[in-house]
Amino acid sequence: MNIPNMLTIFRLLLIPVFLVVFFSNVPNYLLYSIVVFLVAGATDVLDGYIARKYDMVTKWGIVLDPLADKLMLLTVLFSLSYKGIIPYSIFIIVCSKEVLMIISGIFLYKKDTVIPSNFFGKASTVLFYVSILTVAFNKNIGKILLDIAVISAIIALINYAIIYLKNQKNNN
């Protein structure tokens, strides 16, 4: 187990921490829980940097890292929806997209095919982090940014499908 993979596991462990903080009666629970979310985001950036810089990329990490990201994002969006801070439609659309990505990822993993994250996926992730942070300070602007993030996530999904189809065409 290398450092990037340990950071990914740490990020997975932050999911229940987020939930405990978010659903607590602590004043400023939203701000504190978003700090947990941002720490998770920082570990995502850090583990990716370390893995690439020090050639510690593993097949396991390529699969587990985005899974940790998806689970954290879905947890945050569900929690925000549950408390009525954002519309459920955002959670439902993103959840549908992420479940499709997870199922596709498992299918491709079994075929020894891995499509690594690219600009569109990373841009979508950054937009979600910025929009969720903004929700803590200005719900109206945060919701607009979340709508943009959802659109970017759909574009990323389409982009991954195009990459897969091109790979299939080149392999045939």
Q: Give the pLDDT confidence of 72-97 residue by residue, as tens digits.
A: 999 999 999 999 999 999 999 999 99
Number of structural domains in the chain? 1
What span, in angstroms and rounded, lies between the C-alpha atoms of 52 and 15? 25
Average pLDDT over residues 144-170: 89
> What residue numbers bound the domain in which 101 lies?
3-171
Q: What is the mean pLDDT of the chain?
A: 91
The CATH number for 88's domain is 1.20.120.1760
